[in-house]
Amino acid sequence: MSNKILVVGNWKMNPETVDEAKIIAQKTRKTAAELSNTEVVICPPFIFISDCSPRTPTSNAYMGAQTVSLFKEEEAHTGEISVYMLRDLGVEYVIVGHSEERAQGESDEDVSKKVNAIVEVGLNAIVCVGESVRDENGQYLETIKQQINSSLSKISLKNYKNVVIAYEPIWAIGATEAMKPEQICEMAIFVRKTFADVFGQNAAMKVKVLYGGSVNAENASDIIKIGNVDGLLVGRQSVNIQGFSELLKSVDV
Ligand code: PGA
């Protein structure tokens, strides 16, 4: 992973057709190629990954997946997708523990197994953590700490370089406003400190911490600068070709 700003586009269950998917991927890659200090990961639904992959690698753009199955081995697992399949398609990043997946039953234990499977095969895990509410007595900090500790509990020290932490307060996902950049800055420090407790100070200085939740072309630059994060996890705006292109250019300074 380079030192550039990392912007991850989580397409979720969009778009409806493969033709639209190919266009979004092509245009995003075209913008990415013009950036100097920013890299982009596009995470289409599984079914579009092959069609959205470039024939030859293009600069500043990588393929990602929105999740992976819990199972690694080739056994009887109807409907599941393994880390090996993703790697074979050229996927380099995999989102894990997104709140929408956690809401469908993905547990901390599942997240930790998936993170381990991802990094063991040489891919990068984008581990999502975030509180559902901000209570006054700071219980949300405990929630984040617990999510980070359990998500990373199975990985060895040598593999921490393949981990990215995406802090996404659930209340800011799909909302009208992102978290305030000043608050994001505090949370980024907290995430890094928690990471340091597991992997040490040196690793914590290097790990990429992203923010996600209602990021758009208007707020992205302040979130990076004032929020002091290494990148962004973008949902809705990542399938808005014009909006995403503006967002990417705005952070690429
Ligand atoms: P949003 O989604 O940008 O649409 O709020 C973010 C996410 O779910 O990762």
pLDDT tens, the chain, 253 aa long = 889 999 999 999 999 999 999 999 999 999 999 999 999 999 999 999 999 999 888 899 999 999 999 987 777 889 999 999 999 999 999 999 999 999 999 999 999 999 999 999 999 999 999 999 988 888 999 999 999 999 998 898 889 999 999 999 999 999 999 999 999 999 999 999 999 998 999 999 999 999 999 999 999 999 999 999 999 999 999 999 999 999 999 999 8
Does ligand 1 lie within 6 Å of residue 252's CB atom? no
From the list 34, 80, 98, 186, the catalytic residue is: 98
Say whether 77 is catalytic: no
Please give the number of the atom of ligand 1 that sits closest to the Cα of 95.
9
Q: What is the pLDDT of residue 136?
A: 85
Among protein residues, the one with the nearest Cα to ligand 1's atom 2 is: 235
Question: How far apart are the C-alpha atoms of 114 and 94, rounded to whole Å?
Answer: 9
Question: How far apart are the C-alpha atoms of 149 and 129, rounded to whole Å?
Answer: 11
Question: How far apart are the C-alpha atoms of 170 and 1, rounded to whole Å?
Answer: 27
Does ligand 1 lie within 6 Å of residue 233's CB atom? yes
Say whether 168 is catalytic: yes
Q: What is the pLDDT of residue 66?
A: 98
Distance between Cα 233 and ligand 1 center (Å)? 7
Distance between Cα 179 and ligand 1 center (Å)? 12
Among protein residues, the one with the nearest Cα to ligand 1's atom 1 is: 235
Q: Which residues contact 169 (CB under 8 A, 6 or more apart)?
A: 130, 131, 134, 179, 187, 213
The token duo for 144 is 């984040």
State pTM to two decimals: 0.97
Cβ atoms of residues 6 and 208 within 8 Å: yes
Does ligand 1 lie within 6 Å of residue 66's CB atom? no
Does ligand 1 lie within 6 Å of residue 215's CB atom? yes
Cβ atoms of residues 191 and 211 within 8 Å: no
Q: What is the pLDDT of residue 50?
A: 97
Q: What is the pLDDT of residue 181?
A: 98
Does ligand 1 lie within 6 Å of residue 128's CB atom? no
Does ligand 1 lie within 6 Å of residue 169's CB atom? no
Q: What is the pLDDT of residue 57?
A: 83
**Burial of 125: CB neighbours in 10 Å, binned 0-12, 13-18, 19+:** buried
Cβ atoms of residues 225 and 251 within 8 Å: no
From the list 168, 177, 186, 246, the catalytic residue is: 168
Please give the number of the atom of ligand 1 that sits closest to the Cα of 128.
9
Please give the number of the atom of ligand 1 that sits closest to the Cα of 178.
5
Does ligand 1 lie within 6 Å of residue 106's CB atom? no
